[in-house]
Amino acid sequence: MFKKVFYLILFYLITSTVVVGQVSFAIDTFEINEVTITDKAFRGQMRGISEQEWTKNKLENNNGNNLSELLNQKAGIFVKHYGPGTLSTVSIRGSSSSQTAILWNGIPIASPTLGLLDLSLIPLAGFESVKLQKGSNNSLWGSGAIGGNVQLNNKLTSPIRYQDQGFGFNAELNGTIGSFNQRNGSAILGYGGQKLYARTKVLINSTENNFPYQKDISLPNIRLENAEQIGIHFFQDVAWEVSKKHRILLNYWYSSIDRNIPPTMVQNQSSASQYDLSNKIMLTWENENSFGNFTSKIGLIDEYNDFRDENISLESSNYFQNLFAESNFTKEWKRHKFLVGLSALRTKASTASYEINNSELKTAIFSTYNFKYKNLDLQASLRAELVNGEFIPLVPNLGFSWLMNDYLQLKGNVGRNYRLPTLNDRFWRPGGNQALLPESGWSQELGLQGSLNADNVVYEYAITGFNRNVDNWILWALDQDIGFFSARNIAKVWSRGLEPRFGATIEQWNQHFKIQFQYDLILSTNEKAIILPKIDVGSQLWYTPRHQGSIFFDWSYKNMGLNYSHYFTSSSQGINDSIDGYNIGNIRFNYEFVREEKPILNMDSKFKFQSINLFIQFNNLWNKRYFIIERRPLPGVNGQVGARLKLF
């Protein structure tokens, strides 16, 4: 009975959205505002949780080339990096790697087989912005957002063309060379007209990763072998204003990565390699009318990977396909804002390690209500979801922010968490367990933040405390009765901590100087004793340092800039060995040449030969020997030089 009612509501919402959209298409004519549509929909906004966002300019001047490096250096979260050419995942506030949702223009892109995504394969140059949200957001994004979510956005939100010059094209070239035969290059071509905006990006990167390292401090250096990597990415983004109130967006992302996997420090050699091929495409329709805002999108993700290791005669090919659809409606009325949406995700997976090809269907209704009164901002969200016809518990969330005075804001959030078992957890042979329960629990956070302007100095400050409990935590552990590793709900984890932040910015004598400090205290402990693997009650999770900190210095004068970043990570416990803490410093200098406007072929229209931006940077400046994962070496001091040329 409940299932029939659920599907009836889904059908009603879908047909209502389509019908209202078609009617309004015919009768409404007022002008569309691109940025307003995105803001009014407020899809993905959550009151009371911590978030950071890096826009295009910040991404261009970042020290890193991929998402893994950005989050490791700028976000104050722990990135589990296995070394060049190997897996890189994120842990937010002591969560597991599969408890972070990775979203591309609002659709999940993590592998349904593993439940995670290799962040080192995601190039920053492909996106207009990257947003990190810490804390539970399951009510909006569904399974996997226990620790938080990372939102990748390459949607066109403003015309590319230069309106004041009437010139419709722009182009950009980027090139970087670095240590260990690193080569990165990209080309971007964009066009903007009155109705159509389009942008094409091609990115190519390669590296040998043959850096020197020591197996032991008493031994001479040797070079890492079998660590080569080459990747190609292609992005195509199109925005078409069909009418003054209707807009259609097309986003396509192709990636091909071929990499060798280097040996660990206890291996003499490695012949392992992996090939990853991915196609992602999404079509979005946006509509704004006097009744409200409608957004509908469909997306297809098609991914294939092939792992080979000749030394052990292993070849494993895996394929999965996600078909995604979502519609949501937003209405704003006085102090109130409402959102209701529905989504469906169909997953198919094929691998030789499953007895049969498996599929999964998730359907969900989600809603958000936002109320503002004077200095108080409240938001409540609720999600109901069916997985293969079975209901999961309702997922609520409540957040608030309160502007106490001109210098201080109080914010807080409480929400329910859940993560469904991955397809590998359930169907891998041997070890899969179809009787697994979802990981579930509750999380809370409370914080103060504010800013103060005094004598040409802007001070920013914040402190956040968080608490999270997760039951039925899934671990792959050795089962004495059957003699091999299997997935089981055998752990319970309690995560809590503090995140103080401080910054100061000075603008004087045409100079900009900024210093930022951030620190994270994370206690993420096991609350149940486990025999195999041996885990004591109260012990910190593996690969979860208790202390992390960073200091950033930024200085700029006219067309030049200098920034230095320093990171501290305390010791942690790995599966095999303990891992020492480390301090790492990175520095970057850039200079930009800008030309004046010049006439085009002696015609009236003009353009700016935009700019040439040159940079040089050094990573691990103090040449520290350190490890994030035991037995996986990382490079010492290394450098890059590059240029970004904006043609027109």
Measured CA to CA, the distance from residue 508 to residue 363 in angstroms comes to 55
Rounded mean pLDDT, 333-337? 91
Token pair, residue 591, equals 């200079």
Measured CA to CA, the distance from residue 152 to residue 106 in angstroms comes to 8
If you search the block for the tokens 């991404």, which residue do you land on? 59
In this structure, the dihedral spanned by the alpha carbons of residues 309, 421, 138 and 93, taken in order and rounded to 10 degrees, is -60
Measured CA to CA, the distance from residue 192 to residue 207 in angstroms comes to 35
As a residue count, the chain comes to 648
Rounded mean pLDDT, 69-94? 84
Protein fold of 2-646? Maltoporin; Chain A (2.40.170)
- Whether the predicted pLDDT of 59 surpasses 90: no
217-226 pLDDT, tens per residue?
Answer: 889 999 999 9
pLDDT band at 641 (very low <50, low <70, confident <90, very high): very high
CA angle 57, 62, 67 (to 5 degrees): 105
Percent of the chain's residues with pLDDT above 70? 88
pLDDT at position 479 is 74
471-519 pLDDT, tens per residue?
Answer: 999 998 877 777 788 899 989 999 999 999 999 999 888 899 999 999 9
Which one has a higher pLDDT value, 17 or 315?
315
- Whether the predicted pLDDT of 29 surpasses 80: no
pLDDT band at 32 (very low <50, low <70, confident <90, very high): very low
Token pair, residue 558, equals 């006219």
Rounded mean pLDDT, 302-326? 92
Read off the pTM.
0.88
Which residues touch 1 (CB under 8 Å, ≥6 apart)?
Answer: none
What phi and psi, each to the nearest 5 degrees, are found at residue 25? -60, -35
pLDDT at position 611 is 83
At residue 396, the 3 state secondary structure works out as: strand
What letter does residue 21 receive in the DSSP assignment?
H
pLDDT at position 532 is 79
Which one has a higher pLDDT value, 7 or 129?
129
pLDDT at position 442 is 96
Which residues touch 128 (CB under 8 Å, ≥6 apart)?
Answer: 55, 56, 153, 154, 155, 156, 157
Cβ atoms within 10 Å of 531's Cβ, excluding its own:
10
Mean pLDDT of the residues in the chain = 85
Among candidates 517, 610, 487, 611, which has minimal Cα distance to 560? 611
440-468 pLDDT, tens per residue?
Answer: 999 999 999 999 998 889 999 999 999 99
